[in-house]
Amino acid sequence: MRNSKTITRLIFISIVVVLFGALLTNYIGKQMSKSSAKRYVPQGGKAPGKISTKNNPAKEFALTGPSTKKNVKELGFKSGFYDIHLEGGNSQYWDGASSVKDEYGHLLTDYEPMNLEKGKKLTFTPAKFSPLSRQGESYVITNPGTYLPETQIPTGQYRVTYEGKLTPQSATPNSKAGSMLMVNLLTYDQQTIPESSESDHYNVTLYKGDAGRDAPADGLLSIEKDRLVHVTMSFVSDPQVKIILTPVNGAE
């Protein structure tokens, strides 16, 4: 009889231990997930650490317009790094994404406003962070977005040029804006590098000017560790436009 009671107690204790272990494992997993999101995606002004496909907390979702007055957190979406596909034409709210070119590696934070016009749809998928394609010794950027040093492109100094057709920038303020390409470095909390300018090699702006107007066709960019390479392609209608980064001074 005693043996039967002892066995019953042991079975009961084992069940309790297993259940407690499962609950503890679940709790630890959730806390680690929260910690990962806080570490790798800016929340409350804190900057994340190094990002990769393994620690990006992004989860796929879609946003259909009209959408106004709500942010990522209010809509129940996950913050993180996303590749974005826009349907329905260009959006005045999402100037990085267009029907011509998807945006890669967009850093979506909890309090980013999710505005979108009626008749348009944005599809967000976790960023792939694929290494940039090569053109000889150069690296090629075909889409606007955010790119990670060391993960997608080695650190070092690069000469920045472009290929493809750009709409000329007009000299008159009332005319339609022309195409503009910009490559600049950001910190992980989305702040531009302090005192950045073309002379500091943290920012390069390329465009095509009207006749007689200066238009930079190249520039130097110093890609650094723990910085985000942010690419803007404004008013680009040619899907073949691409930015070329060629290593200089022994960069690989």
Same domain, 104 and 198: no
Q: What is the pLDDT of residue 53?
A: 55
Q: What is the pLDDT of residue 10?
A: 56
Q: Is residue 14 part of a domain?
A: no
Average pLDDT over residues 60-75: 90
Same domain, 72 and 153: no
Q: Is residue 252 part of a domain?
A: no
- Kindly report, residue by residue over 129-156, the tens digit of the pLDDT: 888 999 999 999 999 999 988 889 999 9
Q: What is the pLDDT of residue 29?
A: 35
Lowest mean pLDDT across 37-46, 57-66, 185-194: 37-46
- Kindly report, residue by residue over 86-98, the tens digit of the pLDDT: 998 878 777 655 6
Same domain, 108 and 147: no
Q: What is the pLDDT of residue 3?
A: 58
Q: Is residue 15 part of a domain?
A: no
Question: Which domain CATH number covers 212?
Answer: 2.60.120
Find where tokens 């100037």 sit: 95
240 pLDDT higher than 90: yes
- Kindly report, residue by residue over 194-232, the tens digit of the pLDDT: 655 556 688 888 888 776 566 788 889 999 887 889 999
Q: Is residue 85 part of a domain?
A: yes
Is 15 within 8 Å of 82 (Cβ atoms)? no
Range of the domain at 100: 61-126
Same domain, 137 and 155: yes
Phi-psi region of 184 (alpha: psi -120 to 50; beta: other; left: phi over 0): beta
* Domain finish residue from 126, 155, 174: 126
Same domain, 82 and 165: no
Q: What is the pLDDT of residue 43?
A: 39
Q: What is the DSSP string of the chain?
A: -HHHHHHHHHHHHHHHHHHHHHHHHHHHHHHHHHHHHHHHS-BTTBPP----TTT-----EEEES-B-S-BTTTTTPPPEEEEEEEESS--SS-TT--SSS-EEEEEE-TT-B--B-TT-EEEEEE---PPPEEETTEEEE-S-EEE-BTTTB-SEEEEEEEES--PPBPSSTTSPP--EEEEEEE-TTSPBPTT--GGGTSEEEEE-BPTTS-----EEEEE-TT-EEEEEEES---TT-EEEEEE-TT--
Q: Is residue 1 part of a domain?
A: no
* Domain finish residue from 80, 101, 126: 126
Same domain, 150 and 115: no
Q: What is the mean pLDDT of the chain?
A: 76
Same domain, 175 and 230: yes
Same domain, 116 and 153: no
Q: What is the pLDDT of residue 251?
A: 47
What is the model's pTM? 0.73
Q: What is the pLDDT of residue 181?
A: 92
Average pLDDT over residues 96-125: 86
Q: What is the pLDDT of residue 54?
A: 63
Same domain, 187 and 85: no
Q: Is residue 166 part of a domain?
A: yes
Q: What is the pLDDT of residue 31?
A: 37
Q: Which of 52-56, 184-188, 209-213 has the highest mean pLDDT?
A: 184-188
**What is the tally of structural domains in the chain?**
2
Q: How far apart are CA 59 and CA 98, in angstroms?
A: 21
Average pLDDT over residues 151-166: 93
* Domain finish residue from 75, 107, 126: 126
- Kindly report, residue by residue over 8-47, the tens digit of the pLDDT: 665 555 554 544 454 444 443 333 333 333 333 443 334 4
Average pLDDT over residues 92-117: 81
Q: Is residue 70 part of a domain?
A: yes
